[in-house]
């Protein structure tokens, strides 16, 4: 099989637990991919602006950000999939009714948090969302909304996911990357829909794609591509979904697998 596109999740997959990657090793893989017309894609629930910063030294990287709701390059946003205003307001009503939940509203231009969030949540939010704005009320945000990012007690993640999904209804999909982090996205949007857009744009078949993941928000992407790879540290359902496995994220499993795949 000829691989023409490589897509990777970030947290728990491409990045180590301390949010780094081996730039020297990756540079050799990136140079090989560039010379052989293989497209590299960062496919993440994270904000577009954060992903661009991670790969500022790798200018041909493409991005499927916000769990598929934004697709672009370093220089251009190709497309966005945003919520209707009615769904935005209903989602905020549901989130405001839940205890032990803190939320980020992710827009095209910025992310938004309420001014009354805890200092710890504000600090974490600013790391993951370099473009972020504090507002008095999330209901007053006028940006086009891509996604809602929610933090809840880690041991109650599944319960909150089910509750949020039931309360909002079938217009949304509720996914998790673990550790109490939940994303609410449009039901018809995920990382696979982002890759499907790139498939058409770049004339690359899904069978010619390779993807790496570790969590529930990677499942559609891993099913979509021809060469799906689970991290050693991935959740059980990811191992059931992906036909291949690599070592864990702290051992640079993505880079190692690509070195083996491309015989670098």
Q: In CATH, what number is assigned to the domain containing residue 112?
A: 3.30.1240.10
- Indicate the average pLDDT of the chain: 94
pLDDT along the chain (264 residues), means of 10: 94 95 97 98 94 97 95 97 94 91 93 91 87 92 94 87 93 79 92 98 98 93 98 95 97 97 93
β-strands 227-231, 244-246: how paired?
Answer: parallel
Query: Is residue 89 located within the same domain as residue 173?
Result: yes
- The helix, strand and coil proportions of the chain, stated in percent and rounded to the nearest 5, come to 40, 25, 35
Contacts of 239 (CB under 8 A, 6+ apart): 230, 245
The one catalytic residue among 9, 11, 214, 218: 9
Count of structural domains, the chain:
2
Domain that holds residue 151: 85-186
Q: In CATH, what number is assigned to the domain containing residue 219?
A: 3.40.50.1000
How distant is the alpha carbon of residue 186 from its chain centre? 14
Task: Give pLDDT tens digits for 107-127.
Answer: 999 999 999 888 888 898 888
Query: Is residue 76 located within the same domain as residue 95?
Result: no
Catalytic residue at 9?
yes
Confidence at residue 172, expressed as pLDDT on a 0 to 100 scale:
94
Confidence at residue 1, expressed as pLDDT on a 0 to 100 scale:
67
Query: Is residue 74 located within the same domain as residue 164?
Result: no
Query: Is residue 12 located within the same domain as residue 94?
Result: no
């Amino acid at each position: 099989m000829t691989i023409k596109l490589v897509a990777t999740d970030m947290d728990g997959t491409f990045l180590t637990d301390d949010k780094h990657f081996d730039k020297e090793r990756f540079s050799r893989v990136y140079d090989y991919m560039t010379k052989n017309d293989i497209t590299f894609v960062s496919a993440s629930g994270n904000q577009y602006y954060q992903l661009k910063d991670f790969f500022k030294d790798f200018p041909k990287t493409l991005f499927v950000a916000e769990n598929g709701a934004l697709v672009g390059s370093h220089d251009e946003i190709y497309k966005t999939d945003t919520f209707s205003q009615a769904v935005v307001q209903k989602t905020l009503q549901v989130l405001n009714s839940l205890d032990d939940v803190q939320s980020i509203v992710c827009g095209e231009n910025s992310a938004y948090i309420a001014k009354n969030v805890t200092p710890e949540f504000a600090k974490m939010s600013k790391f993951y969302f370099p473009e972020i704005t504090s507002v008095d009320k999330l209901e007053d945000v006028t940006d086009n909304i891509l996604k809602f990012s929610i933090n809840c007690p880690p041991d109650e993640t599944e319960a909150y996911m089910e509750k949020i999904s039931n309360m909002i209804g079938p217009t949304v999909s509720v996914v998790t990357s673990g550790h109490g982090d939940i994303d609410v996205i449009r039901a018809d949007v995920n990382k696979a829909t982002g890759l499907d857009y790139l498939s058409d744009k770049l004339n690359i078949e899904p069978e010619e794609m390779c993807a790496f993941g570790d969590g529930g928000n990677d499942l559609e992407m891993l099913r979509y591509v021809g060469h799906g790879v689970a991290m050693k540290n991935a959740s059980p359902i990811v191992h059931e979904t992906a036909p291949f496995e690599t070592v864990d994220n702290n051992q640079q499993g993505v880079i190692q697998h690509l070195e083996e795949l491309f015989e670098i």
